[in-house]
Amino acid sequence: MNLLELGRDILNIFRPPSDESVSEWADHYRQIVGKSAPEPGPWHTDRAPYQKEIMDSFSQRGIHDIVVMSSAQMGKTDMIMNMMGRMMHLNPGPSLLVMPAEDDVANFSKERLTPTIEATPVLNEITFGGKNSTITQVNFNGGFISMTGAMSPGGLKSRPVENLFMDEVDGYPASAGVEGDPVSLARKRTQNFAFAKRVFTSTPTIKATSRIYREFLRGTQEEWEPTCKHCGKHSKVIFDDICFTKQETAENNGVKEYEVTSARWQCPKCKEFMEEWEVKRAHAEWVAYNPKALKRGIRSFHLNAFLSPWASWTDECKKFLDSKDDPEMLKTFYNLELGIPFEYRDTTAIPDALYMRREHYNAEVPNGVLVITIGIDTQGNRLEYEVKGWGRGEESWGLEYGVLPGRADEPEVWEMVDDLLDRQWHLENGRTMRAAVTFMDAGGNYWDDVMEQCYKRRHRHIYPIKGDNKDTGPLVRHTKNTGKGQNWFQLNVYVGKRAVLHNAGITEPGPRYMHFPDDEDKGYDEQYFRGLISEQVKLVKKKGVYVEEWVKIYNRNEALDVNNYARCAFKGFKINLDACEQKLYGEKKIQKADTSGKPKKPKGLISSGIRV
Ligand SMILES: [Zn+2]
């Protein structure tokens, strides 16, 4: 730090900030522009009154941390720009904005910040019409805003800053390069300033690892509470109190689609109802559930989409209905609409519950099954397999779990695999079916053997698979080895296992429910169920931050892997369940097709509709 900077920093410390609050400043000066702006023109804080206190806490004395845990579409970026604008104009200082990635920074700078500065005369003037600024740095009289992605340790370790804006903190990597937690790195930049302001905003992610949730808990935990027109008491608007009516519009493979016809709020205090527009126009105030954090200078706010003037309640309820049966989609609903972190199901009681609820099947393949898939796990001295039947809405029936002794490089074990692939499974109506797709683990020491043997049997739809331990991306990705023409599949193991564990916790028969037979010979013993629920997501501290890690809670985890493979084999293809049902349970016309003189397929074989 040179003398000039030191002098300015000392001046900054003793300079009294202007009295105009951020919301007053915005109502006075701010213009909304940009392609993505839904309502261009002068800014009006009244448009979304909840924004006032959040913005004003930036200009409030004694407050140094402002935390906003929010759903999408709440005007978060505009609130940050108003804080920046007032700072640039009335209380300028060195500032840093951190976003998850460099691309986010470039988009924000080009499409939001620069047009806003250009359209707001007082800002245009102090930035000299943008002459001294670049995409990653805006310079103005008395300060600057430097902008960086959270991946970049260089950007986070540069000069000291008085104002720190950390946007979408739950999207930051665990470590900026090898330097550690980006939030800690950036926070250190502010330690020389007695009146530093730090703003944290994000939609949350998973409860156990969410940064914004942790910051929210440290603060005042404020909720926006409208006043009930019946009892005059205020309450937060949570999804549990939104009562909606729905109408079924379509059914697609057992999954029902709905239209939401009405949605109202039921006051939790007096149980009377209020319409959406009444709630959004009612007098409301921020209520702190942890007021003692005020002494420590930390205000934290939570916002959900039910408060937003840009979201409709019926749309929100429809989003819930569309996502409620899928853990990944439900997580997105919690994060982006409710603005709260998602918590995966506690699985400890599930093995016993599944074992106890095993049921009698009326046939080897019970009614409801339309497709059979097999998952095979490759171990050093054996293969473990599961045969699963699938119905509409991903309802599943375990048909058999077993072990084939031997190694994947021994011919004998492949004879047993052949028997499994050729096996005819019997329906109650006397027809039979074979497995449509088999996924076999090729990730261990037998990659070449499994690739080669599966290729030889490719006409029977057995494919090698390899697990990919990333937490995002598609569940099943098709890959083809150039030259040899071998098809294999990459599986997103974490996403798959999460879905299996979620489905295992469903207690009502229907979509995603898992059935198991009580026949002792089928392999579904107590050890199987402990194996099925053998892994759990735990928190591990790495480089100063908590990250999710999968840990075994039971040593034998093959059952979970194999179940996941069999499910991926079902999910990885577009299967026409109507055609399958017609073939298995329909009238004679399919059987006639078998006698047409063309090369015959075994009766009831349904793999013909599946192509790679
Ligand atoms: Zn009431």
Note the pLDDT tens digit of each residue in 342-354. Answer: 887 778 889 999 9
Distance (angstroms) between ligand 1 centre and the Cα of 437 equals: 56
Pairwise CA distance, residues 194 & 208, whole Å: 32
Q: What is the per-residue DSSP string for 500-518?
A: HHHHHT--SSSTT-EE-B-
List where CATH 3.40.50.300 sits in the chain. Answer: 21-232+282-311
Q: Which CATH superfamily is domain 21-232+282-311 in?
A: P-loop containing nucleotide triphosphate hydrolases (3.40.50.300)
Q: Which two tokens stand for residue 60?
A: 């409030």
Q: What is the pLDDT of residue 597?
A: 41
Distance (angstroms) between ligand 1 centre and the Cα of 462 equals: 61
Pairwise CA distance, residues 386 & 565, whole Å: 9
Q: Which of 5-14, 333-342, 381-390 has the lowest mean pLDDT?
A: 5-14
Confidence of residue 9 (pLDDT cuts 50, 70, 90): low
Q: What 8-state DSSP symbol labels residue 443?
A: -
Which position has the higher pLDDT, 248 or 232?
232
- pLDDT average, residue stretch 272-276: 97
Q: Which two tokens stand for residue 137?
A: 């740095």
Distance (angstroms) between ligand 1 centre and the Cα of 276 equals: 14
Pairwise CA distance, residues 562 & 580, whole Å: 24
Pairwise CA distance, residues 106 & 91, whole Å: 25
Q: What is the pLDDT of residue 599?
A: 44
Distance (angstroms) between ligand 1 centre and the Cα of 451 equals: 66
Q: What is the pLDDT of residue 36?
A: 61
Q: Is the pLDDT of residue 451 over 80?
A: yes
Q: What 8-state DSSP symbol labels residue 92?
A: -
The rounded percent of the chain whose pLDDT value lies above 70 is 89
Q: What is the pLDDT of residue 10?
A: 52
- pLDDT average, residue stretch 75-98: 95
Tell me, what amino acid is at 102? E
Confidence of residue 602 (pLDDT cuts 50, 70, 90): very low
Confidence of residue 604 (pLDDT cuts 50, 70, 90): very low
Distance (angstroms) between ligand 1 centre and the Cα of 289 equals: 20
Distance (angstroms) between ligand 1 centre and the Cα of 216 equals: 27
Distance (angstroms) between ligand 1 centre and the Cα of 270 equals: 4
Distance (angstroms) between ligand 1 centre and the Cα of 322 equals: 30
Cβ atoms of 440 and 378 within 8 Å: the answer is yes
Q: Give the ranges where 473-521 is alpha helix by DSSP (H).
A: 493-504
- Point out which residues pair with 546 in neighbouring strands: 541
Pairwise CA distance, residues 516 & 361, whole Å: 9
Pairwise CA distance, residues 387 & 385, whole Å: 7
Upper half-sphere CA count for residue 519 (Cβ side, 13 Å): 16
Distance (angstroms) between ligand 1 centre and the Cα of 307 equals: 17
- pLDDT average, residue stretch 504-530: 93
| pLDDT tens-digit map of 551-580 | 888 888 899 999 999 999 999 998 899 999
Rounded to 10 degrees, the C-alpha dihedral 572/585/389/440 comes to: -50
Distance (angstroms) between ligand 1 centre and the Cα of 259 equals: 28
Q: Is the pLDDT of residue 543 over 60?
A: yes
Rounded to 10 degrees, the C-alpha dihedral 585/587/590/592 comes to: 140
Q: What is the pLDDT of residue 325?
A: 78
Q: Which of 11-20, 250-259, 304-313 has the lowest mean pLDDT?
A: 11-20
Distance (angstroms) between ligand 1 centre and the Cα of 222 equals: 20
Distance (angstroms) between ligand 1 centre and the Cα of 230 equals: 5
Q: What is the pLDDT of residue 173?
A: 87
Q: What is the per-residue DSSP string for 356-377?
A: HT-B--SSSB-TT--EEEEEEE
Distance (angstroms) between ligand 1 centre and the Cα of 269 equals: 5
The rounded percent of the chain whose pLDDT value lies above 90 is 67
- pLDDT average, residue stretch 412-435: 95
Beta-carbon contacts of 322 under 8 Å, excluding residues fewer than 6 positions away, are 257, 329
Which position has the higher pLDDT, 5 or 337?
337
| pLDDT tens-digit map of 192-206 | 999 999 999 999 998
Decide the pairing of beta strands 255-266 and 382-390.
Answer: unpaired
Distance (angstroms) between ligand 1 centre and the Cα of 37 equals: 36
Q: What is the pLDDT of residue 596?
A: 42
Cβ atoms of 386 and 428 within 8 Å: the answer is no
Q: Which of 252-256, 393-397, 532-536 has the lowest mean pLDDT?
A: 252-256
Which position has the higher pLDDT, 362 or 469?
362
Taking residue 381's Cβ as centre, other Cβ atoms within 10 Å add up to 9
| pLDDT tens-digit map of 19-29 | 899 999 999 99
* Highest averaged pLDDT of the listed ranges 179-183, 387-391, 492-496: 387-391
Confidence of residue 600 (pLDDT cuts 50, 70, 90): very low
Q: Which two tokens stand for residue 109?
A: 């700078």
Distance (angstroms) between ligand 1 centre and the Cα of 223 equals: 17
Confidence of residue 598 (pLDDT cuts 50, 70, 90): very low
Pairwise CA distance, residues 316 & 303, whole Å: 14
Distance (angstroms) between ligand 1 centre and the Cα of 262 equals: 20
Distance (angstroms) between ligand 1 centre and the Cα of 217 equals: 28
Distance (angstroms) between ligand 1 centre and the Cα of 226 equals: 10
Distance (angstroms) between ligand 1 centre and the Cα of 275 equals: 13
Q: Quick one: which of 108, 25, 125, 94 has its CA closest to 117?
A: 125
Q: What is the pLDDT of residue 4?
A: 52
Distance (angstroms) between ligand 1 centre and the Cα of 272 equals: 6
CATH number of the domain located at residue range(s) 350-609 in this protein: 3.30.420
Q: Is the pLDDT of residue 472 over 70?
A: no
Q: What is the pLDDT of residue 6?
A: 56
Distance (angstroms) between ligand 1 centre and the Cα of 233 equals: 6
Q: Which two tokens stand for residue 56?
A: 């004003």
Q: What is the pLDDT of residue 2?
A: 57
Distance (angstroms) between ligand 1 centre and the Cα of 227 equals: 8
Distance (angstroms) between ligand 1 centre and the Cα of 333 equals: 27
List where CATH 3.30.420 sits in the chain. Answer: 350-609
- pLDDT average, residue stretch 442-460: 91
